[in-house]
Amino acid sequence: MRVKNTSTEKTYCGQTLATNQEYDIQSTELTRWQSDDSVVADLSTGLLLVGDGNTYQTAGAQAVNYLLGTGIKEVSVQVQPPFSSKVIGTKKLYIRATGKAHPVTVGSNNLDFLVPYNVMKFNGIQIVNCELGETVNLKVLDSATGAYSTFPNYMLNQFGFTINLPNGVFIKESQYDADVYKDMVIRIEYTAVTARDVRINYSIHELK
């Protein structure tokens, strides 16, 4: 596996790389590169590229997954139960469940949550103070700079389609998880019948 530094001179895992310098990661040091936060962060923004020596993965999410050995091309749903084990590959899961209050007005609202960690698993939401007759769509968008698709705020995937809400509390958890990456946006398109605050709890887990 080979990496290429596209930025100014930087040091990763004790290896200093000049601008456009390439480096072959040895099998004995691969785990260290996979778990290094600066490596993952720079792969996600394209400052560091990874590939097989002939071609490089330039899309952020694709590059990160290439290094981790998962081979996932973009934000996607995994095909195994996500948390049957705390360990996935060489990394561990840490619960980072987070709540946020969103003010809504009558009609359509975009309720955005910015992904705060380099690599995360997302597998559920809880909506508090919803009302009968309201609906939601659930989407994952690229960052404001287009770090993963090259298109700012591009819709990478959609997991909910005109879901009808009850009075009170709505909970949806999936046995499958979605991979999301730093600065992606979890967007809930919320159609409200009255103006008020809606509170949302996000079931997210950091992978590091």
What are the tens digits of pLDDT across the range 14-27? 889 898 888 888 87
Secondary structure letter of residue 77 according to DSSP: B
Domain ranges within the chain, ordered by starting residue: 2-73, 92-207
Residue 41 in 3-state DSSP? helix
Measure the CA–CA gap between 157 and 88, rounded to whole angstroms.
22
Secondary structure letter of residue 105 according to DSSP: -
Residue 206 burial (10 A CB sphere; 0-12, 13-18, 19+): middle
**Residue 147, pLDDT score:** 85
Residue 80 banded pLDDT, cuts 50, 70, 90: very low
Residue 76 banded pLDDT, cuts 50, 70, 90: very low
Taking the CB of residue 71, how many other CB atoms lie within 10 A of it? 8
Is residue 3 within 8 A of residue 20, CB to CB? The reply is no
What is the pTM for the complete model shown? 0.61
**Residue 41, pLDDT score:** 76
Taking the CB of residue 27, how many other CB atoms lie within 10 A of it? 7
Most confident residue range from 24-38, 105-119, 148-162, 165-179:
105-119
Class of domain 92-207: mainly beta
